């Protein structure tokens, strides 16, 4: 641990492995990203997840695989316990839930760890 110029402690860490999935930890950060991208025709896949959710953990490597494969798609990860207001806004009631957005509008939704269904929906909506 070190101390920065303001006297606040910090921990040096190595950079996490880049996965192509953007995790949001604040509602303000998510809303700023959404506002900046809502006029885009680029597909956005939001993974509503929770750390305690077994099926969510099973889907994490799948989402990373899809992010590497579909580089023309934005992949977002939102923890429902951290951003309850965002989960509520999208009416998330079970995890994992995948919301697909294009031009700022929800175009599809998948509830559950359904890899094949998610892949089909991504391929359907990405262009």
- Tokens coding 91: 């009416």
74 is catalytic: no
Of 86, 15, 102, nearest to 50 by C-alpha is 86
Residue of 43, 45, 46, 53 marked active site: 53
- Tokens coding 54: 């077994």
- Tokens coding 106: 């929800």
56 is catalytic: yes
Cβ atoms of 24 and 76 closer than 8 Å: yes
Round to whole Å and give the CA distance between 63 and 9.
34
Round to whole Å and give the CA distance between 33 and 77.
12
Residue of 45, 46, 50, 56 marked active site: 56
Round to whole Å and give the CA distance between 125 and 127.
6
Catalytic residues, which ones? 53, 56
């Amino acid at each position: 641990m070190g101390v920065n110029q303001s006297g606040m402690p910090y921990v040096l860490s190595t950079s996490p492995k880049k996965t192509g999935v953007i995790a949001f930890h604040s509602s303000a950060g998510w809303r700023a990203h959404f506002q900046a991208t809502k006029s885009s025709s680029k597909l956005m896949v939001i993974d509503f997840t929770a750390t305690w959710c077994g099926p969510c953990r099973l889907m994490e490597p799948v989402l990373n695989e899809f992010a590497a494969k579909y580089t023309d798609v934005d992949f977002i990860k939102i923890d429902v316990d951290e951003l309850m207001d965002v989960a509520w806004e999208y009416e998330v009631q079970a995890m994992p839930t995948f919301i697909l957005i294009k031009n700022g509008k929800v175009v599809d939704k998948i509830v559950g760890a359904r890899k094949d269904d998610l892949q089909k929906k991504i391929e359907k909506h990405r262009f």
